[in-house]
Amino acid sequence: MLQGEDPTAPALMLGSHTDTVRSGGNFDGVVGVLGAIETVRLLRDGGQKPRHTILVVDFLGEESNDHGLTCLGSRCMTGELTAADLDRPDGEGVTLGDQCARTGLDPSAMISQSWLGPDEVSAYLELHIEQGPVLEQRGVEVGVVTAIVGIERLIARFLGRADHAGTMPMSDRRDALAAAAEAVLAIRQLGCDAQGAGVATTSRVTAVPGSPNVVPSAARLEAEMRSTDPVWLDAARAVLAQEVAAKAGALGVGVELDWIHDNQAQKLDDSLQSVIIGAAESRGLSWAPIPSGATHDAVHVARKIPAAMIFVPSVDGRSHCPEEMTKLSDIANGIDVLANTILALDRR
């Protein structure tokens, strides 16, 4: 935190998250937290005395968990985490609330209040790696994020029948895993047919009994769809549900579909985007508007106060993998834009 000279002025908030996915990289989220800290250090060491207090936040649990929920910290801060969210079970039946309690958190306190509002904080800025190839491919140094995708997650349970894998004829089988495999292909095709309007991904498939000589009796599939267009998301959900049920029925397999709404698509603040553009141009940096295909804490903060994001290029567009990389020079550019944006907002 950098204390402002006017105690009555609402604060400006910077930050991101430091948790990562399994087998993830070293830049997703961390760049935003360290970039915020470095911004405050630059202002302090440069003798800047902002009118507004500048806060740095490191949000807990931004990445998705086994309960199918992202951005726990920002949901708590904005009052969007609900009792129903805490009751979400994982694959073993353990609820999110129980998991939080095991780590020493008080689940009831997590949903009891929201302190984030325009009287407390007037704007939020998040520096982040792009996690995709667009900026690097276009040779653009800074991305100004226009909107963040909405996410719909699917849990499909397929119920077939266990039989001997050597003696049961193929035409008489009720193979749950085969039905799940058809669903995987349908999900992929849905994303391919979207022509850039959205994406669809299967992330996990499990089957029982898991023996090499038994036709699978049951299977469980986890998938998600993302888009900045809520109309596409609604239509895609309906189409996919119908197709998965039809393909499973053709194989004599029953199916149950549970949809988990993670977050709505969120447009970011136009005024803040303009300030970021001005900061980039003042430093001679190229910029481009870009939607975010990844979700971020800003998606929840933006529903309470003005919020915006700054992207810097990802090498080869790689992210959520050990090869994730962003050049130090690009990170420095992002911090430069972030610091100059904060100064402009403080003067405003």
User: Residue 332: what residue type?
Assistant: A
| The predicted structure's pLDDT at residue 282 | 96
Residue-wise pLDDT for 207-224, tens only, equals 999 999 999 999 999 999
CA distance 126 to 33: 8
| The predicted structure's pLDDT at residue 91 | 78
CA dihedral 52, 18, 93, 180 (to 10 degrees): 120
Give the pLDDT band (50/70/90) at residue 316: very high
Residue-wise pLDDT for 169-219, tens only, equals 999 999 999 999 999 999 999 999 999 899 999 999 999 999 999 999 999
Identify the DSSP state of 268. Answer: P
DSSP class per residue in 81-126? --HHHHT-B-TTS-BHHHHHHHTT--HHHHTS----STTTEEEEEE
| The predicted structure's pLDDT at residue 119 | 87
Kindly give the residue spans of alpha helices, DSSP state H, lying in the chain: 30-45, 72-78, 83-86, 96-102, 107-110, 134-138, 176-193, 230-250, 270-282, 298-301, 328-347
From 9-18, 114-123, 229-238, 304-313, the region with the lowest mean pLDDT: 114-123
Is residue 341 packed enough to be buried (19+ CB in 10 Å), middle (13-18) or exposed (0-12)?
A: buried
From 72-81, 273-282, 308-317, the region with the lowest mean pLDDT: 72-81
Nearest by Cα to 291 from 123, 62, 130: 130
Q: What percent of the chain has pLDDT over 90?
A: 82
Give the pLDDT band (50/70/90) at residue 23: confident
Residue-wise pLDDT for 117-166, tens only, equals 888 999 999 999 999 999 999 999 999 999 999 999 999 999 999 999 99
- The answer on pLDDT for 65 being more than 90 is no
| The predicted structure's pLDDT at residue 103 | 87
Residue-wise pLDDT for 228-245, tens only, equals 999 999 999 999 999 999
CA distance 39 to 35: 6
Domains of the chain: residue spans and CATH: 11-79+114-149+265-347 (3.40.630.10), 151-263 (3.30.70.360)
- The answer on pLDDT for 22 being more than 90 is no
For residues 22-45, average pLDDT: 95
For residues 110-115, average pLDDT: 79
| The predicted structure's pLDDT at residue 113 | 72
- The answer on pLDDT for 108 being more than 90 is no
- The answer on pLDDT for 70 being more than 90 is no
| The predicted structure's pLDDT at residue 286 | 98
For residues 79-98, average pLDDT: 89
Q: At what angle do helices 270-282 and 328-347 cross, to 10 degrees?
A: 120
| The predicted structure's pLDDT at residue 169 | 97
| The predicted structure's pLDDT at residue 263 | 84
From 99-113, 267-281, 315-329, the region with the lowest mean pLDDT: 99-113
Nearest 5°: CA angle at 319, between 187 and 134?
Answer: 85
| CA–CA distances in Å: residue 330 to residues 28, 36, 55, 154, 158 | 14, 15, 23, 36, 46
- The answer on pLDDT for 272 being more than 90 is yes
Strand partners, 60: none
| The predicted structure's pLDDT at residue 50 | 94
